[in-house]
Structure 1
């Protein structure tokens, strides 16, 4: 009986450590089962030499192609240099279809327009995955950095709008094609009027108080870029990713001033950079490394 109990204990311990063992010391991937849905997703990771449970963690959200492995790869050099663990979850088209499933966070069913349970949102997966990493001993960090480029930036800014309580230490949102403005003057999904889930003024205040860096390439100014949304509502935000990013930042800044709440966002443009996930990734790694050391982004207010 004792031997059986001992064997059971060993097996239980092995199971509890199995997830941690799937995070390779360098580049690799592991499977994560979303607790509320049972869906299994592949997660691409990079752990630099010398990393441990105290090493900062960065979640990287991909662009339109959902090429998580490539985004992970684009972070390797700078993550190694700056001692960052990179986690790039793959939100598959099968489980998170189209713009509704990924860019808009799977908040509602695209066909019925009924609101999905919060545990089914793509936005809540990040905290679930981080909590699992904590539970399995992969990290002792209490919060994480969040980076999204292009469609990934769409994911990031909407996640922080609807789930501002997420355990995000600081976020970088780069070069979104279009935005959900933090106001009720614009209809969903270009603003929060008639959004599937109401966003309170308190939630917006919490979002504005987070350290967020909105960034875009100085040359990401092509009004005819083939992937740029050109609907009437999107064009009202600006005629390029550059002008739309500026519009989003200024709208948030004005709202924070009107609400008389803290505003801890920064805005930058990258000289000579167009629409480039790899260059934004390198910039993001440097900014997070600076933030880890100084508690703020390396940007003039």
Structure 2
């Protein structure tokens, strides 16, 4: 375990950004097979039984989400056995502002959210980067006590987690060790559907891209090569997934809500879109859906409020 953590190089630059680009640069660097991933990471407990990978949203504010996840672990009484890792998907705007080594991975705009490939120093899918991080955790020599891995995100980060749960590659080492993976998807603006059915009527003529990735399975990213829609659906329905929805996330005009026709076909606001998608999944699994939908009372579109709520704590750290 210590050997793995030594690969996270702490750098001194944690400058506040200017007008464009990320406000806070994560201080860690995780060495992947191709390039380095910017990361925030919690102090490593002596015995790591759970690893929580928290995914930031469009603001790429990984440190903010790291702190929320650490607080959630503390409130749940799990901080002594939980390691929190917060990858930061930097983009070209960020590295134009901050002093970042050429070896650090970066993406164009929001391409990372849909599994797009990095622009430098190599072409690596954002989902492949997650694969590599998770694969490290399957090394029983370095992580002998890990019993569970949780991948969680709120808002834009939840969109990433939902799509990654759909396309993510198998992890043989984790499966062999019997280490389960849970996905916690909190308040995303939209979901990827498996077919052309949508809960809200719309005009195909004025919304021709409604079923293109990231809203559907047309034009999947290169990362998904070799996987059929039937395989993707079968694998997804088997995942341990908790959909965490804020009861007050009901503003159809929220400034960060996806208001494209592709998203509007899924419902008027995030709470409705989450319920619509869960109902859709139940129709795809007539024998019974093992996934959970949990509402968080009194919370709207607030990542910290969602993760640290009693419901959020149970989703992240419960059985």
* TM-score w.r.t. length of structure 2: 0.72
| Greater radius of gyration (CA) | 1
2:31 matched to which residue of 1? Answer: 33
Matched, 1:208 2:237: yes
Name the CA distance, whole Å, in 2 between partners of 1:220 and 1:55: 33
Runs ≥4 residues deviating over 6 A:
none
1:270 corresponds in structure 2 to: 296
* Aligned match of 1:128: 132
Name the structure 1 match of 2:155: 150
Q: Which residue of 2 aligns with 1:180?
A: 192
Shift of 1:256: 2.0
- In structure 1, the partner of 2:253 is 224
Pairs within 5 Å for 1:1-301: 18-21=3-6, 29-35=27-33, 38-47=34-43, 51-80=45-74, 81-83=77-79, 84-94=82-92, 95-99=106-110, 101-106=111-116, 120-135=124-139, 138-140=142-144, 141=146, 143-163=148-168, 165-166=170-171, 169-185=181-197, 187-189=211-213, 190-196=215-221, 197=224, 199-257=228-286, 263-283=289-309, 284-291=312-319
* Greater helix content: 1
| Offset from partner CA, 1:228-280 (integer Å, 9 cap, x none) | 121112111111111111122111221122xx5x6221112211101001012
Q: Residues of 2 paired with 1:41 and 1:104: CA distance?
A: 17
C-alpha distance in 2, partners of 1:254/1:200?
A: 16
- State the TM-score, normalizing by the size of structure 1: 0.76
RMSD between aligned alpha carbons? 2.8
Flag the 1:75–1:40 CA change in 2: closer, same or farther, 3 A: same
Runs of at least 5 residues in structure 1 that lack an aligned partner in the other structure: 1-15, 110-116, 292-301
Give the direction of change, closer, same or farther, for the CA distance of 1:282–1:146 in structure 2 (3 Å limit).
Answer: same
Mapped partners of 1:70, 1:184: distance in 2: 36
Where structure 2 has 5 or more consecutive residues not aligned to the other structure, the ranges are: 10-25, 93-105, 175-179, 198-209
Structure 1 pair 45–138 and aligned structure 2 pair: CA distance change class (3 A): farther
